[in-house]
Structure 1
Amino acid sequence: MQSQFKHKLAFIAQKKMTRKFILVFLLTFQAIYIFAEPPPKATWYRYYDSKGIANISTSVTPNHIRHGYEALDRNMQVIQRNRAYDTEADIKKAPLRAAQARQNAADLKLKTAYTNSDVAATKRNDALVHIKKQIAFQQDQLKQLQNDRISFKRQQIEYLRKAENVPTSLKNNLDNNQKNIESKKESINSLQIHYRNTQAQYDRIITRLKALE
């Protein structure tokens, strides 16, 4: 009697486990089916006109875009909603889009020319070194012209001390020397401005490239 009771209990326990296993299997299969099922495709496109009348077609028309539309599956269930096209808002954003397009073009040009900020920094340093050499060369020439002027002035003073007429050639030398000195000073000033502008330009380029990196 006791043996039959134990056997019956074991049978009931096994039956419960079988039911649990079947339930877990069905839930797992259902989850796999749900995740494996591809997303529904749009079959119909519906928009409502100014009178609230629904218009349905199999493709998107300008009216759909103007009023905003819904994408429907084959069961007429909404799977996506698209807002109406706002002409005024689009016109207002046009300058911003144009500015962004110009910025994108400028960024592309920078990347093409310099690749990255390190390359730009190297080119900046090379350019500044070259300008410095030009300035130094012009300054050496200016110094020579100033020394020549001292010599010409001494000659002029000597003629005046002797109460003699200053030769025309010496006068011409003094005039030409003065013009050359002024020209050299202008060249040096121009190169110094060029140096500062080049440095500022490359600094802007490097800053922008770093922002894009």
Structure 2
Amino acid sequence: MIIAEKNNQKHLLCLRRIKYLNFLPFSCLLLSLGVHAAANTHTTWYRYYDQRGIANISSSVTPAHIRYGYESLDQNMQVIARTPAYNTHQDLKQASQREVQARQKEYDLKLKRAYGNSKTASIKRDEILGNINKQMIFQQQQLKQQQNERIIFKNQENQYLRQGQRVPQAISAHLTQNELQIDASKETLRDLQNHYRTTQIQYTNIIERLKKIE
């Protein structure tokens, strides 16, 4: 009885080993196929159609692919991505835009280094405009004084003329010099006024830009 039971156990053990040995090659085959499939999933082909509509396929992207535009294909030749043809006009346009953006970025960095923020720029603007305004006030006072002196010199000149006398050389020289001074003061005043307006516009743009990048 005991011997028969032991024989049965041995028989069952043998059957299990046979089943395992038969299953092992099949398992290895499945594993191998799975690894191969996983590797092929990353295999990509690149296809483009030339000007005659003929398909050209390769495992790498060539200048022709870029010129005509191409499709990326998986191992089953299914399209997984499309890349448009190279557009010279579009590329130049984008290059120009990138250049403008680069210049703007450089300008923004200069503003940040110079002022830090819009509040500081506003303080600097008020300081500069205040100094220009002081110069304009001073120049207006100078001009007014020169115009008053001219009135005095002209009255002296008219007195001699009414009396039929020759106008002294000193008075004529004063009038000539005074006229030059008045013209110079007027020109300086115009320059200061233009400088004031230009500075005001410049700082308005600076402050607005700083507010945008803060």
Question: What's the TM-score once normalised by structure 1's chain length?
Answer: 0.65
Structure 1 position 154, deviation (Å): 3.0
**Is the partner of 1:166 in helix, strand or coil?**
coil
Partner in structure 1 of residue 130 of structure 2: 129
Q: Does 1:207 align with 2:205?
A: no
State how many pairs are aligned. 169
- Which residue of 2 is the match for residue 47 of structure 1? 47
Instruction: Work out the CA distance in 2 between the residues paired with 1:112 and 1:78.
Output: 51
| SS of aligned partner of 1:205 | helix
Stretches of structure 1 that go unaligned for 5 or more consecutive residues are 1-39
Q: In structure 2, what residue type is equivalent to 1:70?
A: S
- Deviations for 1:14-48, whole angstroms, at most 9, x for unmatched residues? xxxxxxxxxxxxxxxxxxxxxxxxxx984423213
Query: Structure 1 residues 83, 128: closer, same or farther in 2, change over 3 A?
Result: same
Cα distance change, pair 125–179 in 1 and its aligned pair in 2 (3 A): same
Q: In 2, distance between residues paired with 1:80 and 1:117?
A: 50
Match of 2:156 in 1: 155
SS in 1 for 2:184: helix
- Counting aligned pairs with the same residue, the percent is 35
Contact residue 111 and residue 206 of structure 2 kept, 8 A: no
Separation in 1 of the partners of 2:170 and 2:41?
A: 97
* Matched-pair contact (CA < 8 Å) for 1:70–1:82: yes
**Cα distance in 1 for residues equivalent to 2:183 and 2:196:** 20
Do the aligned residues in 2 keep the contact of 1:110 with 1:205 (CA within 8 Å)? no
Structure 2: where are the runs of 5+ without partners? 1-39
Q: 1:98 to 1:166 in 2, by over 3 A?
A: same
Pick the structure with greater CA Rg.
2
* 1: CA distance, partners of 2:135 / 2:83: 63
The answer as to whether partners of 1:142 and 1:184 remain within 8 angstroms in 2 is yes
Contact 2:46–2:58 (CA under 8 A) maintained in structure 1? yes
Q: Deviations over 1:177-213 (max 9, x none)?
A: 0121122112101211121122112212322333333
